[in-house]
């Protein structure tokens, strides 16, 4: 009678655990890549108080780039942001033993706002190419103001999660302070269409990318450390 080599038992639960561990890190890095790709597609820099004619002319000259940018920066990036925030909320729930209703609502507002901007952006392009200048300006104004809502919601969510998600490294939890301040400033700028504060978006944007990617990678590292290692099970004789 011989003894066969031991084999490792792999079940769907273990596979699911590995998948969940890597999800926040992959989503966080993909969020940065999608944002960079979206900006590279169309380097438009319209003023927040641009006239309807200026907005329509810009979109009419680059309709394909505008559509692609909205699909990436507001659509796909919004989904990826939602995944990272959901993983952070799960980590916060595991920490306090209950759901955090406040940051969950704020995160949902940010993600749904981003997806709404994606849809509105497609209508802006359609209005521009159809020569509906006034409609194009109104929708562009709405997108800018929604950007302000999204930034303010993210500022509050980041501050709340920095306190409750203790698995994040101290550097990322500290980053929530300048991130929150920058998001509040740029959020107010976009809500009021104030060009005087528009430059703050060049600070809040990179800080947000750094925070989302860093949080995703930190959650993945923690998940990998706490993951149960499969136990070798001897085969029968």
Residue where the block lists tokens 């993983």: 87
Place of tokens 């490294």: 169
Report, in angstroms and rounded to the nearest whole number, the Rg of the chain calculated over CA atoms. Answer: 22
Question: Rounded to an integer, what distance in angstroms lies between the CA atom of residue 128 and that of residue 59?
Answer: 6
Q: Quote the pTM value.
A: 0.85
CA–CA separation, 200 vs 152, rounded Å? Answer: 13
Return the axis-axis angle of helices 101-129 and 77-96, rounded to nearest 10°: 180
Using CA atoms, how far apart are residues 71 and 63, in angstroms rounded to an integer?
Answer: 12
Encode pLDDT of 208-233 as tens digits.
999 999 999 999 988 776 654 444 44
Collapsed DSSP state (helix, strand, coil) of residue 193: coil
Distance CA 124, CA 31 (A): 24
Q: Which one is predicted more confidently, 74 or 17?
A: 74
- The pLDDT of 14-42, averaged and rounded, is 87
At 15 the pLDDT is: 54
Cβ atoms of 148 and 187 closer than 8 Å: yes
Q: Looking only at Cα atoms, what is the longest distance across the chain?
A: 86
pLDDT at 7: 46
């Amino acid at each position: 009678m011989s003894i066969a080599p031991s084999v490792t038992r792999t079940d769907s639960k273990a596979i699911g655990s590995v998948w969940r561990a890597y999800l926040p890190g992959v989503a966080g890095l993909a969020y940065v890549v999608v944002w960079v790709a979206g900006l590279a597609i169309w380097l438009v820099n319209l003023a927040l108080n641009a006239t309807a004619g200026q907005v329509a002319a810009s979109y009419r000259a680059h309709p394909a780039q505008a559509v692609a940018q909205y699909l990436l920066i507001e659509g796909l990036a919004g989904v990826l942001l939602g995944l990272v925030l959901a993983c952070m909320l799960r980590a916060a729930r595991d920490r306090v033993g209950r759901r955090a209703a406040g940051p969950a609502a704020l995160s949902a507002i940010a993600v749904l706002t981003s997806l709404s901007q994606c849809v509105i952006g497609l209508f802006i392009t359609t209005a521009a190419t159809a020569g509906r200048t006034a409609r194009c300006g109104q929708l562009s104004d709405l997108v800018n103001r929604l950007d302000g809502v999204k930034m303010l919601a993210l500022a509050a969510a980041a501050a709340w999660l920095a306190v409750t998600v203790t698995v994040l490294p101290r550097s990322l939890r500290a980053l929530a302070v300048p991130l929150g301040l920058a998001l509040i400033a740029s959020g107010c700028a976009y809500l009021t269409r104030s060009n005087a504060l528009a430059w703050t978006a060049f600070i809040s944007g990179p800080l947000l990318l750094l925070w989302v990617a860093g949080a995703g990678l930190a959650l993945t590292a923690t998940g990998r450390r706490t993951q149960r290692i499969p136990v070798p099970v001897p085969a029968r004789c």
